[in-house]
Amino acid sequence: MELFEAQGEKRRERQAPLADRMRPRTLEEFVGQTHLTAPGHFLHTLFKTEKLPSLILWGPPGCGKTTLARILSQSKKAHLMSFSAVLSGVKEIREVIDEAKNQFRLYGRATLLFVDEILRFNKAQQDAFLPHIENGTITLIGATTENPSFEVISALLSRCKVLTFHPLSEEEIQSLLRRAVEDPERGLGRIKIEISKEALDHLSLWAHGDARVALNALEVAVSAASKKVGTVKIGIQQAEEAVQQPNLLYDKKGEEHYNVISAFIKSMRGSDPDATIYYLARMYEAGEDPLFIARRMVIFASEDVGNADPQALQVAVAGMQAYDFVGQAEGWIPLAQTATYLALAPKSNASYAAYKEAKKDVTEKGALPTPLKLRNPVTTLMKEIGYGKGYQYPHDHSEHYVEENYLPEALADRRYYPLSEQGYEKTMAERLTKLRQKGRS
């Protein structure tokens, strides 16, 4: 029976998609995330240690999260179990924990539990992991494409090290494609393939940092071309057909997708509507996700326009909603209106800079005590110990303002928001100056 199972597994591996067959098996084969895997960095050092901490891997699809979990389990000779939070619940968690206990009792082997899209678990499901991580029954590796800060409970985050993964670069994607073309065992090396630089550029650029997308497209291109006798030649035409997109986004130099979105944002920041429209058209006509463009404009409206024109954020959100309502065929019309409005709006990053300064104090000084007078005395005990005592209600004073210090005592003199002289912020600055002068008089 074991012989037939082994033969079946070999057949499955041969018939698996190229992206699965080419999945790296060692850290030396792993491509990308050098900020974590390079000598001296966290993961490289981790492979040399005996104990593996629980981890949350946060990054976009196809950047190596699942692959790294497998490599870690092999390096630690751990029992790897995996399931998707999309399909599993508390019942499946209990079954996994029971299996982990059996592995340790029967074989003395630790269990590494890989949970894909861990953010899909609710609070109760996430709570179910805590005692078993705490007592060492499992080492958890959770993967997610979304920010774990908002959805992973703090108790679980405090027991895990969060590692941020980045999209693979064009060069990293190309190295994986070349490896797949040349590898005779797991890749396509049993076939004689010639792939042009233009084709490699196109496949790697259109993958947008996702190795799985690039390898799947390569497999499609080779499969379509290999019906011909002799050497399989993959040029730009075959690459375009494989991804079902024309090569409109990039010129002969092969500008990266991220360079174009950067140019788009910098053109708006520089108040150049012509360049803004050009880069918008470059992305839209090449098939970029319009909602990605719209989201970037919403961020820009707050980060770069800010309160110099408070209406900019409303315009940006309305533009995104209008695209969603109108659809692809004419969705470029509200996006173009939004982009040109933002390009010509007065600019201020004061609120953005204010947050960065406040974040710095939060990071360096920690959670400073909230002044007692600002705390809400919802119980008798709270009133007795001074919650809310001395608070002055602004609406009881002229112009609905009273001079008061609302910051923690250690930050009493801090000023985070340097109002600019741009647009509506000038009016806001004049009002704030007037109020502060009134408070001192």
Mind listing the pLDDT tens digit for each residue in 264-293? Answer: 999 999 999 999 999 999 888 877 889 999
What's the token pair of residue 145? 């494409």
What is residue 440's predicted lDDT score, i.e. its pLDDT? 66
What's the token pair of residue 229? 């006798």
Q: Which residues pair with 232 in a beta bridge?
A: 193
CATH number of 257-344: 1.20.272.10
What is residue 252's predicted lDDT score, i.e. its pLDDT? 35
Residue 297 predicted with pLDDT over 90:
yes
Average pLDDT over the chain reads: 84
What is the rounded distance in angstroms from the CA atom of residue 36 to the CA atom of residue 24? 16
Residue 246 predicted with pLDDT over 70:
no
Q: Of 145-149, 254-258, 274-278, which range is least confident? A: 254-258
What is residue 406's predicted lDDT score, i.e. its pLDDT? 87
**What's the CATH fold of domain 170-243?**
Helicase, Ruva Protein; domain 3 (1.10.8)
Of the pLDDT bands very low, low, confident and very high (cuts 50, 70, 90), residue 139 is confident
Q: In this structure, which long-range contacts are made by residues 310-319, counting pairs with CB atoms below 8 Å and at least 24 apart in sequence?
A: 310/424, 312/341, 312/342, 312/345, 315/341, 315/342, 316/342, 319/294
User: In which residue are the tokens 């993959």 written?
Assistant: 234
Q: Measure CA of the first residue to CA of the last residue in the chain; give whole Å.
A: 92
Q: 291-316 burial by CB neighbour count: b if 16+ within 10 A, else e?
A: eebbebbbebbbbbbbbbbeebbebb
Question: How much is the pTM?
Answer: 0.54
CATH number of 363-440: 1.10.3710
Q: Of 96-105, 168-177, 208-217, which range is least confident? A: 96-105
* Average pLDDT score over residue span 366-395: 90
Which tops the pLDDT comparison, 265 or 132? 265
CATH number of 32-164: 3.40.50.300
Of the pLDDT bands very low, low, confident and very high (cuts 50, 70, 90), residue 303 is very high
Within the chain, all domains assigned CATH 1.10.8.60 are found at 170-243
Judge whether 218 and 177 are in contact, CB under 8 Å: yes
User: In which residue are the tokens 């647009």 written?
Assistant: 423
Specify the amino acid at residue 24. Answer: P
Q: Of 137-141, 213-217, 256-260, which range is least confident? A: 256-260
Judge whether 71 and 25 are in contact, CB under 8 Å: yes
Within the chain, all domains assigned CATH 1.10.3710 are found at 363-440
Closest CA to 300 of 319, 322, 283: 319
What is the rounded distance in angstroms from the CA atom of residue 135 to the CA atom of residue 9? 35
Judge whether 187 and 24 are in contact, CB under 8 Å: no
Of the pLDDT bands very low, low, confident and very high (cuts 50, 70, 90), residue 349 is very high
What's the token pair of residue 248? 């409109």
Any idea what DSSP says for residue 153? Answer: -
